[in-house]
Structure 1
Amino acid sequence: MPWPMVHFAIASEVSSNPSPEFLLGSLAPDSIHVRSNVRSEKAKTHLMIEEGRFATDEELRAFWESYKQQAERDPAFWQYLCGYIAHIYTDRVWTFDIYPAYEEHPEGRKRYTQEVTKMEFMILRNRSGARELLHRLDVAKAYDLGGLLEHEVVQYRKVKVDFLNNPAHEPAEDLSILSVDVLEHFIHTTAVRLKQMYTEWNVFEDLRSTTLS
């Protein structure tokens, strides 16, 4: 599954000015790692009914609807919820569209970890406004959601920001399986699909009316 900067890059294409809470929500499901690395626990925070089966668009919408009243009372939570769902949607697309190329490689898991780490720093260095997203992330409010506690999300945020702020963590090796063009295409098309899905749910119209009321 993609690492934070891919999620943040998608957030910045879903919205040209993503809110701090949308960004933090798009990081949040992986915050389970501060509590446990057990796959079944991660499956829960990623809304999998059973391990290995991603939530469908219909199930994601049901999750959205279950929190809609709370979201209508708190626009920041609304943004956080949108980011949370965006993370899960992105993971699902990535698993089917990007990860199979690594499964075919004899050292696929090792190469995958190396390349997704490399991608983090490439996005941070090369995409306009990417570092500003990290600064914006720092001021975001976290929420209890998806079985995760607010303090776990805050703790995970610090872990990832500290990691990204240390250039020594960037691998020296270049990408060999995933190309920059493929990565950028993934970011763009996934953002387009997310915007289409949110439009169908009337997310943007509802948020606009809530914010202005």
Structure 2
Amino acid sequence: MPWPMVHFAIAQQLGTPEPTPSLLLGSIAPDAVHVRGNITREQKGITHLVSEGMLPDSNRIRENYLFYVAQKPGKEWIEFVYGYFAHIYTDLRWVQTLYADYKKENKADKESLRFTYNQEVSQLEFEIIRSQQWAGSVLNKLKDSIGHALDPFVDKSEVEQYRKFKLEWLLEEGNEPKIELIYFTLDKVERFVQNTAAELSILLAPEGIHVQGG
């Protein structure tokens, strides 16, 4: 689903006055499962609360968020958990909106759909880095972040290993496909970020347990 810079863009909206390293790292932590190597779709689904091939609805995401924030005291933990479940909700909304539109607009076969998607979201990462003033600060904060285990989904070492891998990828200019975005343009993604962040600020934060509450 969306790659790290989209998740960081949403974290940038959720953090007050700006996102902390823990929030940023949490916002990509569900994908840390990739460091295990050749994982199945089902294995990845576990870290994203997938059941019977479907992402969870907003109520299930909220229930899990409230359960995990209550497991430990401390702002760093709360922010990490906030980021983790914000990631899952972001994936859900991406599938329901931009990705659904993409599949309607692009009638290619499954393999071509996947190739074009990966090319566009790769390009999008670099477009966001160049266009957003906060991008450099976010990547620097990520370098200083400390991982947490979220049992039974991911462990601390996986989260920190994934952080290192993604930072290296984002800082390597040779990873940019250098194509023109057609389906996942900056204006579409910016609207998605604004809308999803607004929804998350209500879904995961009404009791004041969230990141802004300290």
Amino acid at match of 1:90: T
Superposed counterparts of 1:1-213, under 5 Å: 1-15=1-15, 16-35=17-36, 36-51=38-53, 53-71=54-72, 73-104=73-104, 105=106, 106=108, 107-145=112-150, 146-204=152-210, 208=213, 211=214
Structure 1 unaligned residues grouped into runs of 5+ = none
TM-score (norm 2): 0.90
SS at match of 1:196: helix
Number of residue pairs matched?
A: 206
Q: Structure 1, residues 115-151: CA drift from partner, whole Å, max 9, x if none?
A: 0000000101110111110110111111111521110
Amino acid at match of 2:26: G
CA distance in 2: counterparts of 1:37 and 1:121, whole angstroms: 26
CA distance in 2: counterparts of 1:62 and 1:179, whole angstroms: 33
Segment of structure 1 superposing worse, 94-103 or 125-134: 94-103
Pairwise CA distance, 1:67: 2.0
TM-score (norm 1): 0.91
Amino acid at match of 1:33: H
Pairwise CA distance, 1:48: 1.5
Segment of structure 1 superposing worse, 138-147 or 24-33: 138-147
C-alpha root-mean-square deviation of aligned residues, in Å? 1.6
CA distance in 1: counterparts of 2:204 and 2:62, whole angstroms: 9
Say if 2:2 and 2:91, in contact at 8 Å, map to a contact too.
Answer: yes
Structure 2 unaligned residues grouped into runs of 5+ = none
Say if 2:22 and 2:76, in contact at 8 Å, map to a contact too.
Answer: yes
CA distance in 2: counterparts of 1:192 and 1:62, whole angstroms: 19
